[in-house]
Amino acid sequence: MRPLTVAAAQLGPIALETSRSATVSRLVGLMEAAKARGADLIVYPELALTTFFPRWYFEDEAELDRFYEREMPGPETRPLFDAARDLGIGFHLGYAELTADGTRFNTAILVDRSGSIVGKYRKIHLPGHGEHEPWRAFQHLEKRYFAAGNLGFRVFDAFGGRIGMAICNDRRWPETYRVLGLQGAEMVLIGYNTPIHNPPAPEHDRLSWHHNELVMQAGAYQNATFVVGVAKAGEEEGVHQMGGSLIVAPTGETVAQAVTEEDELVVATCDLDLCRSYRDSVFAFERHREPGAYALITGTKGPVAPDEAGRIDPALARPDD
Ligand code: CDT
């Protein structure tokens, strides 16, 4: 048995004008509550320090800059690191990062019980659009405000296990989990901000909750890993964001889930040894995968006609024999 007690710290809305220090105090309060419930690790959502600002179009860069962290920890986020060290609890935090060379990333870090950063991830799958689209009820300008992550999907040995990170839209892509699974990830931490309404495809709205659970359960089971999904939820600046924060076991079963759309801790003790049962049997990758048949997965970004598929992977060329 290798128990890791994890707390998914779902957040209710954060208003546009809320100060960084007020939000950090709120996060520290949740950290104290998680510690009181025996957590080794608390997981905060994507962009947990501010409102989900990609819902607005900002022409003025200076106005945009206020949402980004230039250093981590910085003066306003330092209390989180101090509290982690004092309480002896680790944390995962999503935030907007502005690097010294001026690049903007949607980032998450993993911090250990001593308050040291042990892992960083920069969001790879950026949803939404890059230009202002006034027809939408609200914008989703992640493609404008962030560069695609340049750190790949890495794993980090921490908390007695092997931890991977992904951010929001990454959870919908099987490649995310498989790359982490191939490195032996035992727990994947994923923060999200997901509006229930999807302006280009409103017919999906009624399925938001189903899709949220579906992708994380599939990712967990098919890669023999725990998945911790954490929402920023509720009515934030007029946009309804889904809750449903959850902890999924390698069985594919949800073991704990939020019931509100407010600040709420979802806590579970996860036996990381459970991963082995799946990784050594049905998902023993080294015995059962056939990477030679997967050339199309890295050989093209979008769909291709059968002829082009055959050029990328000769096994797909026609006619077959
Ligand atoms: N933050 C983020 O990545 N949100 C997206 C919104 C969906 S746009 C279809 C998500 O995948 O949940």
State how far the alpha carbon of 270 is from the alpha carbons of 1, 177, 274, in Å: 9, 18, 8
CB 26 within 8 A of CB 76: no
Q: What residues flank ligand 1, with Cβ below 6 Å?
A: 46, 127-128, 140, 168-169, 172, 192-194, 198
Dist. CA 168 → ligand 1 center (Å): 6
Query: Cis peptide leading into 200, omega within 30 of 0?
Result: no
Dist. CA 32 → ligand 1 center (Å): 29
The question of whether 35 is a catalytic residue gets the answer no
Query: Which residue CA neighbors atom 12 of ligand 1 most closely?
Result: 194
- Would the pTM count as exceeding 0.95? yes
The question of whether 275 is a catalytic residue gets the answer no
CA–CA gap between residue 55 and residue 134 (Å, rounded): 11
- In sequence order, the β-bridge partners of residue 248 are 227, 254
**Of 69, 142, 168, 236, which residue is the catalytic one?**
168
Which of 181, 256, 257, 164 shows the shortest CA–CA distance to 219? 181
| Burial 240-256, CB ≥16 within 10 A → b, else e | bbbbbbbbbbbeeebeb
pLDDT digit of tens for each residue in the chain (321 aa)? 999 999 999 999 999 999 999 999 999 999 999 999 999 999 999 999 999 999 999 999 899 999 999 999 999 999 999 999 999 999 999 999 999 999 999 999 999 999 999 999 999 999 999 999 999 999 999 999 999 999 999 999 999 999 999 999 999 999 999 999 999 999 999 999 999 999 999 999 999 999 999 999 999 999 999 999 999 999 999 999 999 999 999 999 999 999 999 999 999 999 999 999 999 999 999 999 999 999 999 999 999 999 999 999 999 998 765
* 316, two tokens: 């797909």
User: Which atom of ligand 1 is nearest the CA belonging to 200?
Assistant: 9
Query: Which residue CA neighbors atom 6 of ligand 1 most closely?
Result: 194
Dist. CA 167 → ligand 1 center (Å): 9
pLDDT of residue 318: 82
**Of 35, 46, 261, 270, which residue is the catalytic one?**
46
The question of whether 168 is a catalytic residue gets the answer yes
